[in-house]
Amino acid sequence: MSAIIDMPLEKFQTYFIESVPQYRALQLRAVARGAGYLAYDMPWAESLVGDPASGEVHECAITTLIDAVCATAIQTRLDRNFRTATLDLRVDFMRKSRAGRTISCEAEVLRLDADTAVVRALAHEGEKADPLAISTGSFAIISLRKAAS
Amino acid sequence: MNEADFAALRGAILALPYVRMLGFDIAREDGVLRGQLPFAERLIGNPLVPALHGGVVAALLHFTAAAQVMREARMARLPRVFTCTIEYLASPDLRDSYASASIVTRTRRFANVRVSAWQPHSGKTIAAATMQFLTGQMD
């Protein structure tokens, strides 16, 4: 049903990341995906710094990464006749990020039906037991075929 | 808040590279702080809808809320956010966006801030958030 998870990672990168200006600005990289699971990396960059004294990446860049991974994780279980829209997103920040470290985000779809989805995500610097942020989001499922809606 | 205090507040926010990457700015209108995010191509999150990215709308909300905390708690630095809940209310068009914040409650250590963002061309509220900040001096 869904051709999306069968895409080679390189094609996935082109289709879901390189086509989106904000994702190019954050230099996001798709690193793993399955049905209802997705992981992206966001390399450290000077333009993402939220505290020039420490070099940490700003929390809002991490929020953007989380939103991106959650929404696209849902897409791995849908076909191209559907898109998603974020309804709400809660993010709890656990600690500061470190200068120079790539930030990884993994998201898992907990529930998906015809109307909405619930997704949980974790952002970390390579060690899941020491997360930067944890997040839960609710998403609307939008049919692109008028007749189907 | 006098002219020098506002200039210092704005300067502290615009000193962040991430803020400059977004193009966020803060202004005063009739004594009220107003965050602004002028449209730029790099802020697009969905070229097909088309729409701004929800994450950059979250950043507009965040920096507007942080500025309000700095002003009311008389902080020289940005407060640290420890949790936030963002509600997306309308698809953000590829246009300029604005936000304003109000402190719901504030103690010596914490501030709970309600903030909303809108786009004047449509008159729609595009997003709102509750953000909680630490207001004690960091580090």
Above 90 in pLDDT, residue A49? yes
Chain A residues whose CB is inside 8 A of the B41 CB are 21
Mean of pLDDT values over A98-122 = 98
Whether the predicted pLDDT of B128 surpasses 60: yes
Domains of chain A are 9-148 (3.10.129.10)
- Chain B residues interacting with chain A (CB cutoff of 8 angstroms): 15-21, 41-49, 53-56, 58-59, 62-63, 80-88, 91
**What is the CB-side half-sphere exposure of residue A11 using CA atoms within 13 A?**
6
Q: Which pLDDT score, from 0 to 100, does residue B1 have?
A: 83
Number of Cβ pairs closer than 8 Å across A and B? 110
Query: For chain A, what is the mean pLDDT?
Result: 94
- Has residue A9 got a pLDDT over 80? yes
In percent, the amount of chain A with pLDDT more than 70 equals 95
Can you state the percent helix, strand and coil of chain A, rounding each to 5? Answer: 25, 40, 35
Q: How far is CA A14 from CA A9, A18, B52, in A?
A: 9, 5, 19
The pLDDT of residue A149: 44
Is residue B98 very low, low, confident or very high in pLDDT (cuts 50, 70, 90)? very high
Predicted pLDDT at A100: 98
CATH code of the region B3-134: 3.10.129.10
pLDDT interval class at B138 (50, 70, 90): very low
* CA quadruple B102, B78, A104, A6: dihedral, nearest 10: 40
Which pLDDT score is estimated for A148?
47
Distance CA A13, CA A20 (A): 10
Here the ipTM equals 0.95
Chain A residues whose CB is inside 8 A of the B58 CB are 60, 63-64, 67, 89
> Average pLDDT of A56-74?
98
Please give the pLDDT value at position B137.
Answer: 54
Distance CA(A27)–CA(A45), nearest Å, equals 9
A58–B contact, CB cutoff 8 A: yes
Any alpha helices (H) in A44-137, and if so which ranges? 59-75
Between CA A43 and CA A36 the distance in angstroms is 23
Contacts of A88 in chain B (CB under 8 A): 85-88
